[in-house]
A and B are shown apart, each in its own frame.
Chain A
Amino acid sequence: MFKHIMMPVDLAHADKLDRAMTVAADQAKHYGAKVTYVGVTAATPGSVARTPEEYADKLAKLAAAQAELHGIDAGSHPVVSHDPAVDLDDKLIEARKELGADLVVMATHLPNMADMFLPGHGGELARHSQVSVFLVRPA
């Protein structure tokens, strides 16, 4: 049913991604789909990496580790943004189109009041993407 799963990841909060990554891997195994891990970074040094190349490297390692752990076909797709705090949703929507992914799996927070002013990234992606979006909430 699905051929290509896109999974947006925030490397700065990788500890909160376990549930969603398991879901992505399980779906990939079930449908025999490929998973591409997408990360958005700024060109300035950040907490994850000090250069965009270092960031790309870390994202590639994460994909490789997932591929090995779950025995799936996995790749990575780093995106450099001028202002990631704001551009993230647009960059993810663009990346989804570019990759031609037909399912998005991503971790998201519980809905709250703040979403009225600054909607969560998962919700925005679901609203603006033409494909299925699987939002994985914390347990």
Chain B
Amino acid sequence: MSDETDIQGIPTPEGHSDIIETDYKIGQDNIETKIGPFGLDIHNPVFVISGMTVIAFVAYALVAPGHANGLFNGVDASAVEGCEPGAFCDLGMRSYLTSTFDWFFLSAANLFVLFSLFLIVSPWGGVRLGGTDARPDYSYAGWFAMLFAAGMGIGLMFFGVLEPAYYFGTPWGDEPLGAVRPFTEDGVLIQENVAEARRMALAATSYHWALHPWAIYAVVALALALFSYNKGLPLTIRSAFYPIFGDRVWGWTGHIIDTLAVFATLFGLATSLGFGAQQANAGLEYVYGIPNTTTVQVILITAITAVALVSVVRGLDGGVKVLSEINMSIALVLLLFVLFAAGAATILSEFVTGLGAYFKELIPLSTPFGREDDGYRQGWTAFYWAWWISWSPFVGMFIARVSRGRTVREFVTCVLVIPSIVCVFWMAVFGGAAINDIIANPEASAVKAQVIDSYNPPLSLFAMLESLPLAAITSTIGIVLVIVFFVTSSDSGSLVIDTITAGGKVDAPVPQRIFWCTFEGLVAIALLIGGGLGALQAMVISTGLPFTIILLIICYAILRGLMAEKRG
């Protein structure tokens, strides 16, 4: 018997691929045990360290909320002796990181875009993930729905109206590249500035949602897919470091990398769950008058988690894929509705304008040095980049999981170019409709009231829908979509955390994914009740910085890995 299950010996690849020889046996550090009647198969020590640290963090944020808030979001410098304005204690970890390392985040993100574009045109574009004879597991439609729903869905709901409207009319001095304002101090519309402000709002929004974030995801996803499908290493982040650290990645070096990935994913998901519950609740209050209270939000998180649980138990094909496709269909319906209700001709020309503006302003917007627009560059761009990067282990791993059989060129093109175009289109439709509403009648515009006059982000989407016909129906669809998008992030995230904490095994016992899915919900509820969501958000940004360095190293590892592969 032992002969058949011994993994020594040269494995047979599917066609040609360059399997890395290592004595590491996947699952060798795992503990297989039972808790009551339920079996477990968990990585030692990643599972325990990740779980314990998250619990310790939640306890800290709940027991000492004042201290946590000061550390993460800053204190009032004038009230604290020895705290200079602009110092770490004044800014807090989040603002300190985005204002100090903005050049680093911007430069790194530019590099990821250039690297991805290079891969498309390079001779390594022909390398096939899974070996030269591998065939894709999923159709384009299913594949695209999953990578899109996991990677960005919810952000499009939250920021689709908010961001373009905000840049268009911001009275807080953080116009992108110091663009013109379309309003006077008294809030009177300046007609001749409208076209330019509108163009810049679309360009600046598209910049945050197109090539850069998807390049970040593409880098992580490609590294994971390459090192597991072609090199035979376990599906965890540490495997990408094999060309650099060799067998040391199976020791503490790898434990630290994987644990960081779990943090980033879990904190990112819990933050999203918290904010998602707030947005859904704000929508329910706006449309149906349901009270906006913590209790309602806890019920929402519980319901979202319950549906996500059903989805993870039904698995990748029966749950996650089905929900992602449903999600994309509803999103498409809403997109088409807004497109036609707000005037298809205007919006389509908006899309063309937006795309043109995006390319024209891409270089100025992504220049890391010598700029005056601190509010935009540090407050928005650096924040976004840190956010995308902290989400990248999760989204990247999920994309990798469903991308076997694609060539590198096909993979990067589909992960980078197509989602970018869809995002620019989405922003043009939702942002265009919102800006139309603002300029049509600034006095009566709900979008202007919620975004520019008072900053009320969760309501921005519903304010825009209100300006169109059938608002009651579309707002309800909007609320449903927000909730379903959270479910698709929550279920795919649970699968990813489960895989990392099981040492790269995708067939760990089902109770483990149930555990992580429930755990995410509980963390979100605990922090929502204890008021620690701000700290959590700062934590997401804080994991973004070390992960940027990890990503830069990964680019090098990908090149090393691709060089050894046979081109298709």
Contact = CB atoms under 8 A, between A and B. Distances in A.
A51 B137 contact: no
A53 B510 CA distance: 25
Given A49-B11, A51-B13, A44 B228 contact: yes
Interface residues of A, number: 35
Interface residues of B, number: 46
Contact of A86 (B36, B315, B404, B505): B315
A45 B235 contact: yes
B316 A83 contact: yes
Contacts of A61: 3-4
Contacts of A49: 7, 11
Contact of B137 (A15, A18, A82, A114): A82
Interface in A5-40: 11-12, 14-15, 17-18
B234 interface: yes
Interface string A75-119: 000000011111100000000000000000000000011110010
Contacts of A12: 5, 27, 507
Contacts of A44: 228-229, 234-235, 401, 404, 504, 506
A43 interface: yes
A122 interface: no
Contact of A14 (B4, B12, B228, B234): B4
B317 A83 contact: yes
A46 interface: yes
B316 A86 contact: yes
B347 interface: no
A57 interface: yes
Contact of B504 (A45, A52, A53): A45
Nearest to B314: A86
Given A51-B14, A54-B11, A87 B315 contact: yes
Contacts of B510: 85-86, 118
A51 B131 contact: yes
In this complex, the member of A12, A45, A62 whose beta carbon has the largest number of chain B beta carbons within 10 angstroms is A45
Given A44-B401, A45-B26, A50 B7 contact: yes
Interface in B217-263: 228-229, 232-235
Sorted nearest first, the 5 A-B pairs with minimum C-beta distance are: A86-B315, A50-B232, A114-B37, A47-B27, A54-B11
Interface of B: 1, 3-5, 7, 11-14, 19, 25-28, 30, 36-38, 130-131, 137, 228-229, 232-235, 313-319, 401-402, 404, 504-511, 513
